[in-house]
Amino acid sequence: MAALGPLSRTARLGCNLCRKHRLVFNRNLQRRGIASCIDPSYGLSEEQKEFQKVAFDFAANEMAPHMAEWDQKEIFPVETMRKAAQLGFGGIYVQPEVGGSGLSRLDTSIIFEALSTGCVSTTAYISIHNMCAWMIDTFGNNEQRERFCPDLCSMEKFASYCLTEPGSGSDAASLLTSARLKGDHYILNGSKAFISGGGDTDVYVVMCRTGGKGPKGISCLVVEKGTPGLSFGKKEKKVGWNSQPTRAVIFEDCAVPVTNRLGAEGQGFNIAMKGLNGGRINIASCSLGAAHASVLLARDHLLVRKQFGETLANNQFLQFKLAEMATKLVASRLLVREAATALQQSRADAVSLCSMAKLFVTDECFNICNQALQMHGGYGYLKDYAVQQFVRDIRVHQILEGRCIFSFLCSRSQFDLSAYVFNLLPQEPTR
C-alpha cells in the first residue's frame, strides 16, 4: 500500500464522523475565559485539528457515557475499542503498509489527550496496545509485521506489553524470566506482573533472558494466546484503570518459535526502552486529557454551586486556584508536545525529554485533577461525579512506564542523565 497523503490520512481517521456531535467539555467555550486559554488545538495544523476533533467526538459519544459503568463493572470495552480502530486509532504510528495510520508522535499525543477526556483507563490501554504494535512494526521482519500488525491495527486482536516482574520493576535489566533455546523453539519460564490486558489479550510482547546477566542478555519474544504453558494469575482489584484487566502472565515450559523473536538475541532491552520512550509520552498525554476535563468540570461546578449567597466562581481564592490549574495544564501540554516532536525527529535530547515529560506531567496533572475534586467539596467524593474517576485513573500514571526518571536512563546501558543535565549548566572557567 502506498503511503497515505494528507487528505486520505484524514479520511482514514474518520473525518466523515457526524460533525453535529460536539465534545461535551467544549460547551460554552468562552465562559469565564478558561476554556479558550487552555484550548488544546492552539498551534496545531488544520490536519491535526481534524484528528483531534475526531478523537474528541469519539470520546464524548462513545466513551464518556459509559466511563462510570466500565469502571464500576470492570468491563473491558472490546467493541468500543474496535470502533476506535475503525478511525485509525489501533495503530496510530504504525506504518500504513501493514494497516497503521502512519502518523507522527505529536499526532499520537494529540489523539490520546483527546480520547482520555472520555475515559482515561480505556485510552491508556489503547496507548499500550499501540506501543506493542509499533514495536512489532519497527523491530519485526516483514513476515512478522504482516502476520501480526494488520489484526492489531484493526483491534481484531489485542496486545500486552510484558516487562515488569515481581522482583524487577524499575530495575528492568534484572528480569529473570528465561528463554532457553531448544531446536527451533525457546522454552520460556518465569512470570510477569501487573500486565495490562493480561488474560484478555491475544499477543504478548515479552522481554526475557536468553543470555547472561544485565541488559545485553535480554531478548524480545512475541507469545500468542493459547500457546501451551502460557497461563494467567487472578484479575487484580485496582483503585483505578478498571476498564482494563490486570493479571500476572505466567510461563511454564512455554514453547515459543524462534520465528517469533523480534530483532536479534540480546536486543530485547533496547527494544523495550525504545518502546517506553513513546509509552511515556502516551501516558503523559492521557494525563493531559484527564486534567483538561477536570479543569472544565471544576469551572462548571464553581459557576453553579452557591455558598454564602453567591456562586463559588466569585471567590477570589478559587479563581486563583483555577488559574494555577490552567497554567500547569498548558505548561504540561507544551512539554509533552516538545518531547513528542523530539522523539519523532530522533533528536539527541529525545530520551531525556520523554522522561522529563513523564515525570513532570503525570505529577502536575494528578495535582490538577485532585484540586478539581477538592473544588467539588463533598460532591467530588461521590461516584456520581466524574472528577473522582479521573483522580483514581491517573494516579497510577505516576508509577508505571518508568516512574523513576533515573531508573532506566541512568543505567550504564543508556546514559547518565544527571551528567547530561550537569553539562547544560554554566561551568566555572578552569583556573
Confidence of residue 223 (pLDDT cuts 50, 70, 90): very high
Q: Which amino acid is at 331?
A: A
Task: Determine the pLDDT at residue 416.
Answer: 46
Residue 176 has pLDDT above 60, yes or no: yes
Task: Determine the pLDDT at residue 307.
Answer: 93
The question of whether 364 is a catalytic residue gets the answer no
Q: What pTM does this model have?
A: 0.88
**Per-residue pLDDT tens digits for 307-363:** 999 999 999 999 999 999 999 999 999 999 999 999 999 999 999 999 999 999 999
Which position among 50, 165, 364, 401 bears the catalytic label? 401
- Segment 286-307 shows an average pLDDT of 97
Confidence of residue 200 (pLDDT cuts 50, 70, 90): very high
Residues above pLDDT 90, as percent of the chain: 82
- Segment 181-198 shows an average pLDDT of 97
Residue 14 has pLDDT above 80, yes or no: no
First to last CA, the chain: 62
Residue 70 has pLDDT above 80, yes or no: yes
- The CA-atom distances, in angstroms, between 23 and each of 34, 38, 52, 296, 304 are 16, 15, 11, 12, 20
Residue 302 has pLDDT above 80, yes or no: yes
Indicate the average pLDDT of the chain: 89
Task: Determine the pLDDT at residue 33.
Answer: 59
Least confident range of 182-186, 378-382, 422-426: 422-426
Residues above pLDDT 70, as percent of the chain: 85
Reduce the secondary structure of the chain to three states and give it as a string: CCCCCHHHHHHHCCCCCCCCCCCHHHCCCCHHHHHHHCCCCCCCCHHHHHHHHHHHHHHHHHHHHHHHHHHHHCCCCHHHHHHHHHCCCCCCCCCHHHCCCCCCHHHHHHHHHHHHCCCHHHHHHHHHHHHHHHHHHHHCCHHHHHHHHHHHHCCCCCEEEECCECCECCCHHHCCCEEEEECCEEEEEEEEEEEECCCCCCEEEEEEECCCCCHHHEEEEEEECCCCCEEECCCCCCCCCCCCCEEEEEEEEEEEEHHHEECCCCCHHHHHHHHHHHHHHHHHHHHHHHHHHHHHHHHHHHHHCEECCEEHHHCHHHHHHHHHHHHHHHHHHHHHHHHHHHHHCCCCCHHHHHHHHHHHHHHHHHHHHHHHHHHCHHHHHCCCCCHHHHHHHHHHHHCCCCCCHHHHHCCCCCCCHHHHHHCCCCCCCCC
Residue 47 has pLDDT above 70, yes or no: yes
Task: Determine the pLDDT at residue 34.
Answer: 65
- Segment 71-90 shows an average pLDDT of 98
Strand bridging mode 185-196 / 218-224: unpaired
**Per-residue pLDDT tens digits for 142-155:** 999 999 999 999 99
Task: Determine the pLDDT at residue 20.
Answer: 32
- Domains in the chain with CATH codes: 46-157 (1.10.540.10), 160-266 (2.40.110.10), 269-413 (1.20.140.10)
- Better-scored residue on pLDDT, 64 or 169: 64
**Per-residue pLDDT tens digits for 241-257:** 999 999 999 999 999 99
Task: Determine the pLDDT at residue 168.
Answer: 86
Backbone CA torsion sign across 200, 283, 106, 272: negative
- Segment 262-291 shows an average pLDDT of 97
